[in-house]
Structure 1
Amino acid sequence: MTRLPAHVDIREVGPRDGFQNEPETIATADKIDLINRLARTGLRRIEVASFVRPEVIPQLSDGVEVLHGVDVPDDVSLMVLVPNSKGLDNALKVRETFSEVAIFVSASETHNKKNVNRTIAESMADNDVIAKRIVAEDLRCAAVIATSYGCPFEGKVPMNRVLDIAEQFAAAGATEVGFGDTTGMANPAYVGEFFAAAIERLPGVEVTAHFHNTRGQGLANAYAALQAGCTSFESSFGELGGCPVPVGSTGNIASEDLISMFHEMGVSTGVSLPAIIDAARAAQAVLGRKLTSHSIVAGPIDWAPTPGAPACH
């Protein structure tokens, strides 16, 4: 039996990856309140804003206001995402509000073209420049590769193509590379093989798993990555998120469901499960609709039976 790690790190991406996929814009004050709640759950990494053109993702057009408005503990690291050099220029105007920057590309030519209107080569040429600028600013550079396990337009994405891109990111200065299951096409068997190869190919680089639950395999994929040696994960409270490019691409795995699974297996996250469930329920109230997280409904597992409760089978 594979020996599991004692601890994993989780980055909460709901305030960026989740909020950007909502059909309506969430009020800035509500965003700030939810981020402040998340920052007091024990999470140490939160992605909070994206410096894309407001007309492209209006849901995140208040990123500067959010960054200036949040009040998080000193040991919580905030991340912003930039799509290109212009986005980094805008982000650096509020350099003091964050400590990490994410850059990205799709491993599928078709998805990358539909997402950012560039070829992979064009995106990577810009990313090479951006990464070096991020490092020069003494900021942590994290790279994300979308459609790492499959593309809804092209089908299977070759593993070597994904890992070649990851090595290019690392050479440019990225100390972390995340592999995104952007439209929920991964399966546990492939994930185990993929992360074993990624960890071998990227020594000294933090290898991060980012799964969506579009087809209900998100937690199974996270477990497969864990067994392969991955100890860094991204997730979204309330199972918020998705991908705006293909129709039907629903949210990321719920942070509270992922944390619940890890804790039940004896793997520490440093996050209070009741506190992050409360934060997800607060998001549900703000959005005015039921979210798809299981833990919002069921709550944490309580191993002590309630006296007098009827037996269930």
Structure 2
Amino acid sequence: MIKLIECPRDAMQGIPHFIDTAVKAAYINQLLEIGFDTIDFGSFVSPKAVPQLRDTEEVLGLLDLHHAKSKLLAIVANLRGAEDASHFDEIDYLGFPLSVSETFQQKNTNRSISEALKTVEEIQNLCEVKGKTLVTYLSMGFGNPYDEAYSPELIAEFVEKLNQLDLKIISIADTVGKANPELIEKVFEVQTQAFPEIEFGAHLHSTAAGTKEKVISALKGGCKRFDGALNGYGGCPFAENELVGNVATEILIDTLEGEGHELIINKAELKEALKLTGFVFSEF
């Protein structure tokens, strides 16, 4: 079964003007009507690092979750953030960005890879106590701009370390949008065959023109979990100067359905959410 994860947090985090808290909440409430498996709605990180998301707790308090079927995911960058997020029963998943690039790990969380792996272990232990599930994002999962060593087998080495910590969900991220379809298929093929007990996700960044081919390649490699953001908004503000947007959810849905996958999505509510994006992300 295909899982769709909608990522308004990722879509919003790099927007320079502050989006009003009530607007954020109204938008996420609309997304909750669509039927996504999970909404990546906010983050518990330093407001100095990501000022756009400094109101995550307030947004959470404004969400209408009484009839929502979607689960909520919040990104954390350290144990303190994980502890803060774990206090909220409404949050099901904690997401942590682990990079296969030493350079990017420092840029993103101000830690070395070895330090980040220790943090993953600490957060995993916390999740087991608090009844949460840790989703680890492997940043720079398809190569990076820093001329560091990379291969699908390197990804497998990282996955093995996470497997030893009993992690169940790993999302491989094309942080700077440079992965080609052949590499995407190979990376997922290697991981899904070596670790069939782990749920692998694709957090791809892409132009609209390149999205379909990349999604199909991930499917061929065995991926069944896909992140997206309506209209392709977003991108990582810590990677490169020029943001490469997220996979547009509407293109993702069309592609998956075109490949014969039945998705439980309310298309009328999806249409309403698409109408809202112009207002939510507009500076005016």
2:223 — aligned with what?
A: 230
Code of the residue aligned with 1:162 in structure 2: it is I
Question: Does 2:226 correspond to 1:254?
Answer: no
Instruction: Tell me whether 1:57 sits opposite 2:50 in the alignment.
Output: yes
Distance 1:275 1:251 in 2: 23
- Offset at residue 163 of structure 1 (A): 1.8
The answer for the alignment partner of 1:147 in structure 2 is: 140
Aligned ranges 1:212-291 → 2 under 5 Å: 212-214=205-207, 216-245=209-238, 246-288=240-282
Distance 1:71 1:220 in 2: 36
8 Å contact from structure 1 (residues 184, 218) kept in 2: no
Contact between 1:235 and 1:254, CA under 8 Å: does it hold in 2?
Answer: yes
Moved over 4 A (4+): none
Q: Deviations over 1:247-302 (max 9, x none)?
A: 1122101111110122233211211344323212202122227xxxxxxxxxxxxx
The one-letter code matched in structure 1 to 2:225 is S
Q: Secondary structure at the match of 2:13?
A: helix
- Whether 1:98 and 2:91 are equivalent positions in the alignment is yes
Structure 2 length-normalised TM: 0.94
Give ranges in structure 2 of 5+ residues lacking alignment. Answer: none
Is 1:75 aligned to residue 69 of structure 2? yes
1:123 matched to 2:107: no
- What's the counterpart of residue 128 of structure 2? 135
Structure 2 counterpart of 1:45, from 25, 32, 38: 38
RMSD value, Cα: 1.8
Question: Given that residues 51 and 81 in structure 1 are in contact (C-alpha distance below 8 angstroms), is that contact kept between their aligned partners in structure 2?
Answer: yes
Larger Rg: 1
| Residue 14 of structure 2, aligned match among 9, 21, 42 | 21
| Contact kept in structure 1, 2:205 and 2:244, CA below 8 Å | yes
Q: In 2, distance between residues paired with 1:197 and 1:49?
A: 31
Identify which of 94, 100, 116 aligns with 1:107: 100
TM-score (norm 1): 0.85
Identity of aligned residues (%): 27
Does the 8 Å CA contact 2:208/2:232 hold for their aligned counterparts? Answer: no
What letter corresponds to residue 101 of structure 1 in structure 2?
Answer: L
Moved more, 278-287 or 193-202: 278-287
Are the equivalent residues in 1 in contact too, given 2:127–2:133 (CA < 8 A)? yes
CA contact (8 A) 2:13 2:234 kept: yes
1:300 corresponding residue in structure 2: none
Residue identity in the other structure for 1:31: K
CA distance, structure 1, for counterparts of residue 139 and residue 219 of structure 2: 20
1:182-225 deviations in Å (ceiling 9; x for gaps): 00011111111111101012221111011101584233111101
Structure 1 residue matching 2:16: 3-state secondary structure: coil
User: 1:237·1:276 contact (CA, 8 Å) conserved in 2?
Assistant: no
The alignment of Structure 1 onto Structure 2 pairs a total of residues equal to 282
Could you tell me which runs of 5 or more consecutive residues in structure 1 were left unpaired when the two chains were aligned. Answer: 1-6, 290-313
